[in-house]
Amino acid sequence: MTRRAGASWQWGNPRPAARPAVRPTPRGPVCAAASRPYVRKVSGFRAPAAHNREVFERAVADVAEATRALLDGLEVRGAAARGQAGPPRAGAQRRG
């Protein structure tokens, strides 16, 4: 069996999917910036009229707060979160 460039297998065995790296949780303006497109989509307005601006901005702040509460409440488990390699997986083979 030949190995193709970019193939996700070797010798007929699929490789396990890699877990994404643990990233620091966004804070402050990042949460507000991420919540603005959501409020725009839900409301149907790219920019609200003057008489709707206050409720629009309050919705952005509420979504940003809910996002911060969600991210603060999540618990990341596993060796990657602690910065450790962890024990070898069952069935893992040593090379050498």
**Maximum CA extent, the chain:** 71
pLDDT score at 45: 92
**Beta-carbon-side half-sphere exposure of residue 54 (alpha carbons within 13 Å):** 1
User: Mean pLDDT of all residues in the chain?
Assistant: 75
Q: Which residue has the tokens 């919540």?
A: 35
List, for residues 59-72, the tens digit of each pLDDT value.
999 999 998 888 88
pLDDT score at 74: 84
Mean pLDDT for 38-53 is 94
Mean pLDDT for 58-85 is 80
Domain ranges of the chain: 25-72
pLDDT score at 75: 83
| pTM, to two decimals | 0.55
